[in-house]
Structure 1
């Protein structure tokens, strides 16, 4: 039963990660960070509203989205091969 749960977890993590490697995840996070910065500049110049307070939590969530599944897959795959 536990091996079925781990297999299901691995399948979900692989689905979330989408077979991306470290550099692909890093580049994806970089692109999202650039887009968030541009959105903040747009909202500051056009809407006259500073959204800087929202950028920090969004960056944390995006970093977790890009790197948590990847790191968990690394850890679980290493344990399963040993």
Structure 2
């Protein structure tokens, strides 16, 4: 499908996440074309969320190469850390 998915969670301060912690979920915005990386970046700007460029690049490459089940921690001041590669 190569569709992107965006879920924004409230900082749970170490608590398990629950439905009340979801600030945005792209599944509730089906009118947008989630096959385009620009939709993701535009939505992040609209929500006022700044992310490292490495995250956008990684999402784009994962989409191009149909990668999944990867967990990567992206940082503003150092290279990303791959926590789990699918």
Return the TM-score normalized by structure 2.
0.29
Larger Rg belongs to: 1
- Bigger proportion of residues as strand: 2
- Bigger proportion of residues as helix: 1
